[in-house]
A and B are shown apart, each in its own frame.
Chain A
Amino acid sequence: MMNDTENKMNFQENSAINIDRQKWMALLGGASIKDLETEKKRLDPDIDWNFIIKPEVGLLMVQSDADGSHPAFNLGEMSVTKCVLEVKGHYLGYAMILGSDLVHAELAALFDGLLQHPDYRDDLKENLIDTLAEKQLKKDRSLEKDVTNTTVEFFTLKRGE
């Protein structure tokens, strides 16, 4: 219990960077493992950390109140993997990602921890986060283009014409 409270305090200490964190956490969760592994190798292959919570697969209930006219309902669950680790002394990295990939959760938590460290932040933002954001944007744009091309104009026909 004590440990939990401590962790929480440690996380909230850095609340000023929460908005930044939300952004990079989403990108780390959506990244390919290959990209994360390459980046780790580039940064420091020997970097080490202590697990607070080893990568663990669990569930998240997805709730919806989509059309607003009905009470919220439970749509179904999704598999998620959670990992919390401590890197470089007191930086706590957190990850909860979609799916059951333990390595992905571990790497996402590692980078989340390192991104809070002043010595690594700028380097990682430039070399990892910006690249991931760019890749994501490119992917989204490409999908959007394919989808937009299927926009259709329907015409209503009059009888006899």
Chain B
Amino acid sequence: MYVAVKGGEKAVKQSRRLVAKMRRGPETVPPIRTNQIEHQMGLGVDRVMAEGSLYDNKAAATALKQAQGDTMEAIFLVRAFRTTLKRFGTSAPIDTQDMQIIRRISGIYKDIPGGQVLGPTYDYTHRLIDFDSDEKKETPLKNQVPTVDSTEQDISPQQMTRVIDILRQQGLMDTASPTTPHKNVEDLTREPLKLPASRSIRLQNLARGDEGFLLGSAYSLQRGFGLDRHPFLGELRVGYIAVKYTPPELGFEIIIGKIKLTECFMINRFDGSENKPPGFENGYGLVFGQSERKAMSMALLDKSLQNSSNSDSKTKYPAQDQEFILSHSDNVESSGFVQHLKLPHYVDFQSELVFIRNLKKEHDKKKETCLEPSI
């Protein structure tokens, strides 16, 4: 049992003063502005938004600054912030087919309608630290590499057929099933996680889950802890999507704004069963901002959890186990429980001491009796 403690106000105040001082660093260095973080640390901001489960660049950037760059602390701040706000409603389901694409690749087809579009990626960089990049010395690469005038390629959404739709047209993948009317969609922020969880809940959980946990779990699948077949990247997309909503006061749909998303389709071979013909199956990932690692991990886990939610399959490894993945994916929860150990446990530990001293006494006594020569 945890017993509360009181006191320490003065020390806490001073600690907060000190952390503010440490955060600011030397006065000779100008302070960072949140809009600099927002625009120049964009991928960090994206991660805070995704796991904070709130698309708000400004809030995420401010949280990152306040947390001294500690991503998880920033995520915690964002989660706390969202609880202070009223929810106006729920958007119309977004249609990623309409995405204004900035990156789109497929690992299974070389020639896809619309082409392979690398967009902004670190995949083909040399991973060498550029120590000359600091302020005045900087010569942005965009000025070194001339832009090309290519007008032949058309990357409009209409041209970018989804790769899984190609497989669907060939009858190699299940066609789309009707979706639930969006009012009835379960919501993790309104009700606690119940197991076994529906796919809606699993996807929501993964979308706001910790990138590191998702990545490690997906990696474990690939290394043989739950996946016996090579998965394929059907498609990965990054781009902007318009969020639409019908305010009840207006009675017609309006565009609220465009948000950046990463979407991933992971394809797995299915050799067929009694009830289902052979074909391919899909794991799905969708994440706020540009976060390819996470979207891909999410898609791998989505597939693995789908498999294990079938009644005939067995759960053998952690990444196949709904309870293991869904209960441990949230980093605000995880870090709260791990870090609560920092709080005073003085009374709890007293009882441990009493217990262990008694045990030791008994142990010593036994030893003594054993040593006594038997007559």
Contacts and interface: CB of A to CB of B under 8 A. Distances in A.
A binds B: yes
Interface of A: 4, 7-8, 11-12, 15, 18, 21-22, 25-26, 29-30, 56-80, 82, 84, 94, 96-100, 140, 143-154, 156
A22 B286 CA distance: 27
Contact of A78 (B55, B180, B254, B265): B55
Interface in B45-68: 49-50, 53-59
A150 B207 contact: no
Interface stretch (B18-26, B83-91, B224-232, B351-359): B83-91
B249 interface: yes
A60 B176 contact: no
B3 interface: no
Interface in B184-202: 185-189, 198-201
Interface on chain A toward B: helix, strand, loop, or mixed SS?
Answer: mixed
29 contacts: A8-B249, A8-B251, A15-B252, A22-B252, A22-B253, A26-B255, A58-B86, A60-B87, A61-B91, A62-B243, A66-B263, A67-B164, A68-B177, A73-B201, A73-B207, A74-B189, A75-B94, A77-B55, A78-B259, A79-B58, A96-B88, A96-B247, A98-B257, A98-B259, A100-B56, A151-B115, A151-B150, A152-B116, A152-B118
A62 B85 contact: no
A96 B253 CA distance: 11
Given A64-B96, A71-B200, A80-B256, A4 B249 contact: yes
B156 to A, nearest CB: 8
Contacts of A94: 247, 249-250
Contacts of A62: 55, 91, 94, 243, 259
A57 B84 CA distance: 10
B185 A68 contact: no
B255 A22 contact: yes
Contacts of B203: 70, 73
A151 B115 CA distance: 6
Contacts of B252: 15, 18, 21-22
A98 B177 contact: no
B256 A79 contact: no
Contact of B96 (A22, A25, A66, A76): A66
Contact of A65 (B93, B115, B116): B93
B255 A144 contact: no
A96 B258 CA distance: 13
Nearest to A142: B147
A149 B117 CA distance: 8
B43 interface: no
Nearest to A70: B199
B101 interface: yes
Interface string B238-280: 0000110101111111111111000101000000000000000
Given A79-B85, A143-B102, A97 B187 contact: no
B315 interface: no
Nearest to B287: A75
Given A25-B254, A148-B150, A78 B243 contact: yes
Contacts of B144: none
B164 to A, nearest CB: 6
Contact of A29 (B102, B187, B248, B255): B255
A59 B82 contact: yes
A49 B186 CA distance: 41
Contacts of A57: 85
Given A78-B54, A148-B153, A61 B94 contact: no
A75 B288 contact: yes
A59 B164 contact: no
Given A8-B249, A25-B254, A148-B155, A66 B185 contact: no
Contacts of B87: 58-61, 77
